[in-house]
Amino acid sequence: MKKIALISVYHKDGITEFAKNLNSLGFDILASGRTARHLKTAGVPVTDVASLVGGEAILGHRVVTLSREVHAGLLATRTDIDIAEMEKLGLPYIDLVCVDLYPLQTEIDKPDSTSKTVIEQTDIGGPTLLRSAAKGRRIVVCDPDDRGKVIAWLSNGSPDEAEFVNALAAKAEYIVSEYCLISARYHSQGEYEGLIGKKVISCKYGENGYQSPAALYESANCEDALAISKFKLVAGDSPSYNNLCDIDRLLQTLTHIANTFVINQRKTVFIAIGVKHGNACGAGIDFEDPKIALEKMLNGDPVSLFGGLIMTNFTITKDLANTIITNQLGTKRLLDGIIAPLFCSEAIEILSRKKGKCRLLANPRLFSVNEKSVSEKMDKAPIYRSVRGGFLLQPNYLFILNLSDASVAKHGYNLDEFEEHDLLLAKAICDTSNSNTITLVKNGQLIGNGVGQQSRVRAAKFAIAIALECGHNPEGAVAASDSFFPFVDGPATLLQSGINAIVTTSGSVRDQEVIDFCIENCISLLMTPDISSRGFYNH
């Protein structure tokens, strides 16, 4: 029996070559009007599907392939009954469908799009063809990247046919589901929402037994170069669920730091961050030398960093790898993972642990984190959180402290350049740590991160305690708070340890008391509006 392929695509790139390959493999080609004309012009033997359905496209091309003749060809089985009925009706059995969909999201994203234009760009025939082909277990090609795979598979004699065809059918259902979700989200103006993604990493374990099986799913049509799925594992075992959570938090902190310094200083800065259980326990910056930034991070809170992950925006060389693995006692520092733009081969060998327990992940995009790295793509990537019976959704936290912004109120003495640098670093770390948080920074180094406390004064005490325990002197350091001080006890605690400057938000009924206290005690106080800058990250 002659094989038949039905092709109907919006984007014509590469379709001629695919059709010619199918033709050479013994397929007759059916195509819808515009696709048929395109293939005919390219010299591909093709039959317009109109000849099957008994007429040209109607209603302004809105109805082309929506006919019982086409879908009978996709849903008919190879049973004697169906074959006899199809022969009686004079209808062909369609073996392969190649379809892509009208670019609905592209239309929605246009500044001048309207409900009418979006409806016009909403594909009905395409999704219907894909679903019929998937149900009928035909060879269904909805992703241009699969065309070459299908040709190679057919040329190789179609091995493991049921498994291969089933995988294509599942992808078609996924593509249609995502397409329908886009439409529902747009037309309901947010009344309906959902999550859909493709598994890209299967975690061997989740660190905690109940987390297995754990996996990373990439969102549909993800174009973010800093998406976790875009990081390449260059050495070590597959990341665990907790590793992936920490990598996400590292990215949030690193991009906020990079963005902050480009906006305020018009400079790029070498950044190194260490994280444990989602919060920075070490961070360092330097404008000239990546090794200095790395050493500041490693010496911030070495105890907490044990078994943690680190991220940099610079290459890990042999020298830097040796710096990483050697702790203050001269023994080997144990880490769960290191994330960087690039690793030299010697560094990979030095950093690798037995049984792959230190994961090395690379993404060259980390070289160029800049003022767009927080807002680029992330403004369209809301944060989801599972709750019993459903999920919560919120916009991503995108606030960046800009010292020249008129909304930043400054009280007390003027900061020098180095204090400004420290406050900028402290704010970026604080806002991407679990609330309540007080963050202490001195000379471009995180010295104490008092995270996750129920009271703000306790967060201040915790940050100071961490700094002292790790051998740092808080005298002359700066502090950041992710929200306002409800009482003066927080600033008073910081003053007692020698803090010179504080960045916080305004919004408390006791703001004036806090301002007066800081001025009287020669503390420089910067305040940003609580409504726009409150962190409370991962609350």
Reduced to 3 states, what is the DSSP secondary structure of residue 406?
coil
Contact between 325 and 348 (Cβ < 8 Å)? no
CA distance 172 to 198: 12
Contact between 1 and 92 (Cβ < 8 Å)? no
In angstroms, what CA-CA distances link 195 with 109, 177, 178, 388, 393?
Answer: 19, 10, 9, 16, 11
In angstroms, what CA-CA distances link 203 with 36, 279, 335, 383?
Answer: 45, 22, 18, 22
Q: Token pair for residue 461?
A: 């005490």
The conformational region for residue 266 under phi > 0 = left, psi -120 to 50 = alpha, else beta, is left
Write down the pLDDT at residue 205. Answer: 65
CA distance 329 to 341: 28
Read off the DSSP letter of residue 110.
Answer: S
Q: How far apart are the first and last CA of the chain?
A: 63
The conformational region for residue 401 under phi > 0 = left, psi -120 to 50 = alpha, else beta, is beta
Domains (range + CATH), the chain = 3-188 (3.40.50.1380), 226-383 (3.40.140.20), 399-533 (3.40.140.20)
CA distance 396 to 374: 9
- Give CA 456 to chain center in angstroms: 31
Residue 308 bridge partners (DSSP): none
pLDDT in tens, the chain (539 residues): 689 999 999 999 999 999 999 999 999 999 988 899 999 999 999 998 888 776 666 666 666 667 888 999 999 998 889 889 988 988 899 999 999 999 999 999 999 999 999 999 999 999 999 999 999 999 999 999 999 999 999 999 999 999 999 999 999 999 999 999 999 999 999 899 998 999 998 887 666 777 778 889 998 888 889 999 999 999 999 899 999 999 999 999 999 999 999 999 888 899 999 999 999 999 999 999 999 999 999 999 999 999 999 999 999 999 999 999 987 766 789 999 999 999 999 999 999 887 888 999 999 999 988 766 776 555 566 888 889 999 888 888 888 999 999 999 999 999 999 999 999 999 999 999 999 999 999 999 999 999 999 999 999 999 999 999 999 999 999 999 999 999 999 999 999 999 999 999 999 999 999 999 999 999 999 999 988 888 777 77
Reduced to 3 states, what is the DSSP secondary structure of residue 28?
strand
CA distance 339 to 363: 8
Write down the pLDDT at residue 115. Answer: 95
CA distance 519 to 488: 12
- Give CA 446 to chain center in angstroms: 26
In angstroms, what CA-CA distances link 300 with 240, 289, 326, 327, 516?
Answer: 25, 17, 14, 12, 32
- Which are the contacts of 426, defined by CB distance < 8 A and separation ≥ 6? 439, 440, 441, 446, 478, 479, 480, 503
CA distance 298 to 283: 8
Write down the pLDDT at residue 60. Answer: 64
The H or E element containing residue 108 is helix 104-109
In angstroms, what CA-CA distances link 480 with 283, 474, 504?
Answer: 14, 13, 6
